[in-house]
Amino acid sequence: MKKITIAIDGFSSTGKSTLAKQLAKELEYVYVDTGAMYRAVAYFAMQHSLISADFFKKDALIEGLSDIRLEFRFNSDLGFAEMFLNDENVEKQIRTIEVSNFVSKVAAVSEVRAKLVEQQQEMGTNKAIVMDGRDIGTVVFPNAELKIFMTASAETRAQRRFDELQQKGDNVTYEEVLKNVMDRDYMDTHREDSPLVIADDAIEIDNSYLNKEEQFAAVLELVNDVVKLD
């Protein structure tokens, strides 16, 4: 069976990670959640008082990058890899609305992107990988055999994210989540370094009216076309 690289890009809260996990499990590929890596760096900045609603000590974060060790460790009970920051499992901490409010600002720092992109490219050396993020098909793996770009209306994405946070017990409002989604959209698409854009050879999927099963079936068919399993 031909091993390929699958790059999944798109706006926040479009279900990129869910789709990537489904594909990795079906194909027995490695899954890498690059968003978790940027979230972990944002969490590190928060822990060390380098970022808040009022300030961002960008230079101090850049100087501290050498102190950041990121690692994915597979959790057999959950069936997926969790994010570890300096040997601490931070999977739960990095999924909060507080981290979401800062992650795009941290991800816009060129030195942060350079550090993480290098690690991501090393992970994909042997192909057989599914990676999702904002610049996978344009920067990390511009030669990926299959590139997917996922989108949905801001309102749909905010509702999905709000429901998810509510289920986790987070005390947030829909309006707060919608503002976060729209703010992240703007920052992701307007940053100078590797802005969120659709790769020329990417296949765009608007999943505003697709459920997870329909979306997975559609993308799996695309995968099959590339690796010629059918």
15 appears as a binding residue in the annotation: yes
105 appears as a binding residue in the annotation: no
169 appears as a binding residue in the annotation: no
Cα–Cα distance between 10 and 150 in angstroms, integer? 5
11 appears as a binding residue in the annotation: yes
55 appears as a binding residue in the annotation: no
17 appears as a binding residue in the annotation: yes
Task: Report the b/e string of 47-71 with b at 16+ CB within 10 A.
Answer: eeebbeeeebebeebeeeeeebebe
13 appears as a binding residue in the annotation: yes
Alpha helices in 125-171 (DSSP H): 154-167
100 appears as a binding residue in the annotation: no
76 appears as a binding residue in the annotation: no
Cα–Cα distance between 151 and 15 in angstroms, integer? 9
At a CB cut-off of 8 Å and minimum separation 6, what does 203 contact?
146, 147, 148, 149, 222
Residue ranges for the known binding site for ATP are 10-18
Query: Which residues sit in the known binding site?
Result: 10-18
